[in-house]
Structure 1
Amino acid sequence: MVYFSKLATAVAAACLASSVIAHPGEHHDHAAVKREIVARNQMASAAKRSIDSCSNSLKHRELNARSIARREETLHSIRKARGITSKPQKYRRDLATLEVYEAVNRNETGAVNYAIGSSDTTIFSANTSCILTPEVTDGPYYVTGELIRKNVTEGQAGIPLYLEIQYLDINTCLGVPSLYVDIWNCNATGVYSGINETGNVAEGGWDSTYLRGIQSTDDDGVVSFETIFPGHYEGRATHTHLLVHDNVTVLANNTMQDGSVTHIGQLFWPETLRSAVEATYPYNTNTQAVTTNAEDTWSIVQAEDDYNPFPEFVYLGETIEDGLLAWIQVGVNVTADYSDDSYYGVAAILQADGGHQQSDNVGGGSGGGGGAPSGTGSFPTGAVPSGAAASAV
């Protein structure tokens, strides 16, 4: 069992005792956040016990075998498509400098010399034990009405990130098909698309759509996105947002609506990886203060071994500029619905005529819920991604 260090505990306690600083709109009462952290940890512990009971089943082992083969094939396919022939960098973290989960080396880059057609199960068997991510606030700047698409980069500069998420039923340890997964994160300089207000002025304003999109899980519960490694902004550790919908209605314009909210979560990234990324352009032009994982408001490293919000990853080539392949498994309760939860907040809605602010509060802890803008009586109808031609939709 991994324990929270005294230093990290002190830092997290200080965060909870002070005002939360982040993008405008992400305002949380520190006492309420503390209660939510306790509840989150209890839920994660119960879910972990449930998933442990089925993790040795034959069907789950077969699913993991398919996952290993898929990740291996994905790596080789990406390298071939991008013309990467160099061997991956022999990179290992300095374990002595890392805290809690980061003490587990999740960088699998140096495990083997990759070549097209090579076969290795060691690297791609990592994170196949139904490790859970916590259910936390969707944060500010969640936008509904985004397009169903795999590549969300829209030309944003940054380290290419090929991210695979596999959703498993915590009661069966099997993949959950037909979930619709929203992904969003800020760009390399800490700015979210779809929002245009003080503290977050996106190029394209409310109409911008970069680094946002939706994918549906396959029969093994897998979605994958082509995005970039997120930048940072003051008050939160570097993270990627995920929100899962079930029983949705897919519209003819390649968007979705309705359905339940089955899971709200965030993925986090080790400090050494973040530092390596942010030594590159344009991350190194970001002047906002860095918040470490240990300092994050939501105490992401506090739940010991009941959940793990850090994906496994490999470098695609010799240097980090070649990009990353990352993967994680997320256990979900398929009967859950967070649509009416106070931590499900909608900042804006993307419609055919562009983006529209949902309310004066951009979400992330003050209530919200989905649906149409107040008083309009219409649902999201989608829009052409910012910077894309109409024929691309």
Structure 2
Amino acid sequence: MVAFSKLALTALVSYAAAHPGEKHDAHKMKREIVARDNAAQLGARSLASCSNSASAQALKARSIQRRAETVSKIRQKRGIQTTARKNKRALEDLQAWEKVNHNMTGTYDYDMFTSLEDVFSGNTSCILAPEITDGPYYVVGEKMRSNVKEDKYCDGIDLFLEVQYIDVNTCEPMPAVAVDIWNCNATGVYSGISTSGNYAEGGYNSTYLRGIQLTDSDGVASFETIFPGHYSGRAVHTHLLSHTNATVNPNGTISVWNAPVSHIGQLFWPEELRVEVEATYPYNTNTVEVTTNDEDMWSILQADESFDPFPQFVYLGDSIEDGLFAWIQIGINGSADYTEDDYYGIAAYLDAEGGHSTGYTVGGGGEGGNGTGPGGNGTAPGDFPSGALSGAPPSETSA
């Protein structure tokens, strides 16, 4: 379990304004850390009890083969001939206060005689915190797509990310889970919002580096994105949010209104990898001070002996500029619903008329980040889920 030290509490207070408009109660977060640690440890024990079942082992074999074939196809499509590399994390990536029990190895090359399991296995006991703030930048109604890169504002190191959801109670994959992904671009700017410190061109109508996918029969959703940049007060991270029982509309979009929120998470990336990425263009044009993983206020909530927020990854070639393939297996409680959680909030939504602000800010009630007050510059749909707008006027939500 994470040892919640005075240093950690100070860090939470110091970084409470990491996103514009965020307000957090450090003592409440301390209580939540303990609760989340306990939940994660229960989940890890559940996974351990079923991880050796025949179905779990068959799933593992399929996953290893799929990842190997995916990397091979990507390399072939991109014309990469050099040997790829696999990296796992180093202990120093997270400092001692996080007490993370990672399985570490150094960087090494592999060849045709290397076991695929050695290269592409995933830690099936891996479990992320059962919930974590989605930040004030979650947007509902994103395009159903696996490639979330667009023509503008998406320059950077290509990242092919595979996310696999496993039910901690059964070790079975979770199909038909609607998985949202979003992260900032190489210079630290998010699409889909418009708030102090983050003015995306196009504001609420912009959609770059955002998308949603349904998991397949093996619980997998795959995305083509870029390695995220950094901005003030936060370590480099990628956002994930999943809904069960989502609806696929006739026009091919996915509706998550009133669908249970089964997981809210952030993936973190090793400092050594971040340094290598940010030496390239356009990351190297970002002059904002870097926040490391151990300085970040949310990494302490995500990292524990029972859950690991770092994806496994391989270099697609011998250069970082060839891109990365990364994967993570996430153990969650398939029956959980965090819709009513204080830290689940919808900052904006997209509909046929474009993007609209809801006025939501994490822990900040209904005052919109754009300064226009409750509701922001748009009105939530009539079926906007109750509890999604923490502190918003009742007239803007419905059951």
Give the structure-1-normalised TM-score.
0.86
8 Å CA contact retained: 1:19, 1:30: no
Q: Distance in 2 between matches of 1:111 and 1:222?
A: 26
Indicate whether 1:188 and 2:186 are aligned: yes
Alpha carbons of structure 1 residues 198 and 377: separation in structure 2 relative to 1, 3 Å: same
8 Å CA contact retained: 2:244, 2:262: yes
**Cα displacement string for residues 240-292 of structure 1 (whole angstroms, at most 9, x for unaligned residues):** 11110111111233322231111111111111111111111111111222111
Match of 2:14 among 8, 13, 18: 18
Q: CA deviation at 1:70?
A: 0.4
Q: CA deviation at 1:341?
A: 1.2
Query: Cα RMSD over matched residues?
Result: 2.6
Alpha carbons of structure 1 residues 354 and 87: separation in structure 2 relative to 1, 3 Å: same
Tell me what 2:127 maps to: 132
AA matched with 2:251:
N
Q: Which runs of 5+ in 1 are unaligned?
A: 381-393
Q: Distance in 1 between matches of 2:76 and 2:223?
A: 18
Q: CA deviation at 1:91?
A: 7.2
SS in 1 for 2:334: coil
Alpha carbons of structure 1 residues 90 and 20: separation in structure 2 relative to 1, 3 Å: closer
Q: Distance in 2 between matches of 1:102 and 1:202?
A: 38
Match of 2:163 among 140, 162, 165: 165
AA matched with 2:178:
Y
- Structure 1 residues 341-352: aligned runs within 5 Å: 341-352=341-352
Indicate whether 1:252 and 2:242 are aligned: no
Alpha carbons of structure 1 residues 84 and 305: separation in structure 2 relative to 1, 3 Å: same
**Cα displacement string for residues 184-211 of structure 1 (whole angstroms, at most 9, x for unaligned residues):** 0111111110111211000221110000
Indicate whether 1:69 and 2:65 are aligned: yes
Q: Distance in 1 between matches of 2:365 and 2:34?
A: 19
8 Å CA contact retained: 2:132, 2:301: no
Alpha carbons of structure 1 residues 303 and 147: separation in structure 2 relative to 1, 3 Å: closer
AA matched with 1:346:
I
Q: CA deviation at 1:93?
A: 7.0
AA matched with 1:284:
N
Tell me what 1:261 maps to: 261
8 Å CA contact retained: 1:154, 1:210: yes
Q: Distance in 2 between matches of 1:72 and 1:375?
A: 43
8 Å CA contact retained: 1:189, 1:285: yes
Q: Aligned residues: percent identity? A: 56
Q: CA deviation at 1:305?
A: 1.3
Tell me what 2:393 maps to: none
Q: How many residues align?
A: 366
Alpha carbons of structure 1 residues 162 and 376: separation in structure 2 relative to 1, 3 Å: closer
8 Å CA contact retained: 2:158, 2:322: yes
Q: Which runs of 5+ in 2 are unaligned?
A: 367-377, 386-399
Match of 1:215 among 197, 213, 216: 213
SS in 1 for 2:84: coil
SS in 2 for 1:350: strand
Alpha carbons of structure 1 residues 337 and 157: separation in structure 2 relative to 1, 3 Å: same
Q: CA deviation at 1:303?
A: 5.0
Q: Distance in 2 between matches of 1:265 and 1:367?
A: 21
8 Å CA contact retained: 1:247, 1:260: yes
Q: CA deviation at 1:23?
A: 2.0
Tell me what 1:377 maps to: 382
- Structure 1 residues 307-326: aligned runs within 5 Å: 307-326=307-326
